[in-house]
A = this chain, B = another copy of it.
Amino acid sequence: AAMASCGWARAVRGLLLDVSGVLYDSGADGGVPIAGSVEAVRRIKASGLKLQLCTNETQATRENFVRKLRALGFDISVSEVTAPAPAACRLLRERGLRPHLLVHDDLVPEFAEIDKTNPNCVVLGDAAENFTYENLNKAFRLLIGMEKPVLISLGKGRYYKETDGLKLDVGAYMKALEYACDVQAEVVGKPAKRFFESALAELGVPPEQAIMIGDDIMNDVGGAQQCGMRALQVRTGKYRPSDENHPEVKPDAYVNNLAEAVDIILQQL
């Protein structure tokens, strides 16, 4: 059935891969690779297809994120990762913005080169334990005190799953600050079009020759399709059967996992 409808696999020259839920399942000990994914990444590279990871991960610098992936067996380098924090730094520089950061401690080094004195915007990431009442009030007071509040959010996920249970993601806190300040956040990361475009630029492939593979029907599949890419949804990670009846977004195909996607794509080359 998958083979019968794989027009999406023709003319492909590069793949964008989501990470959590596609390459590995996150967890207390750094997570575990999803079966077949380490080998699938190796096969993509051996085939000559270009590869870029496109993640909304904001709990670590890209360097540490890549270190974790390599420890799990993935042959990935830092330049092969598109993540929200570096994209946010580009945006801050372009617009002369000086951020107050409400992010995870481990992400702070990504902003080392950015002027953070006398903030004129707030950058919100998945701050996890840093989402304290005091820190939220502080970010709020800075925003509401600005003549024109600027809130930049690294993603807008609702929640995610860790081994000790579900956690509110950055999008929930973004909504709290949006409401309190009557402002609309600018989202850096998936599903923002500009974020996919910078991932494609790093991939060096136009959208019509690229395929996005992800587990998130809205942020991965919907976002990539908005950019003119084809997009597959894997049935791993946060995939739920109800996604297949989504009222707005329909993937170009479903695959059981990354390994199956790679099987089908490589057969078409």
A binding-site residues for B, Cβ under 8 Å: 128-129, 131-133, 136-137, 140-141, 144, 158-159, 165-169, 171-173, 175-182
Contact = CB atoms under 8 A, between A and B. Distances in A.
User: Which 3 pairs between the two chains have the least Cβ-Cβ distance?
Assistant: A172-B176, A175-B179, A176-B176
B171 A173 contact: no
A4 B99 CA distance: 51
A158 B182 contact: yes
B179 A165 contact: no
A168 B136 contact: yes
A247 to B, nearest CB: 13
Nearest to A173: B176
* Secondary structure dominating the interface of A: helix
A175 to B, nearest CB: 4
B141 A165 contact: yes
A132 B140 CA distance: 16
Given A169-B180, A175-B179, 12 more contacts: A136-B168, A137-B165, A137-B167, A140-B166, A140-B172, A144-B159, A144-B166, A158-B179, A158-B182, A173-B176, A175-B175, A175-B178
Contacts of A141: 165-166
A144 B169 CA distance: 13
A217 to B, nearest CB: 13
27 contacts: A128-B133, A129-B133, A131-B133, A131-B136, A132-B132, A132-B133, A137-B166, A137-B167, A137-B168, A140-B159, A140-B172, A141-B165, A141-B166, A144-B166, A158-B181, A168-B176, A168-B180, A169-B180, A171-B179, A172-B176, A172-B179, A172-B180, A173-B176, A175-B175, A175-B176, A175-B179, A176-B176
Contacts of A132: 132-133
Contacts of A171: 179-180
A124 to B, nearest CB: 12
Nearest to A159: B180
Contacts of A136: 131, 168
Nearest to A169: B180
Contacts of A166: 137, 140-141, 144
Nearest to A140: B168
A159 B180 CA distance: 6
A158 B178 CA distance: 10
Contacts of A137: 165-168
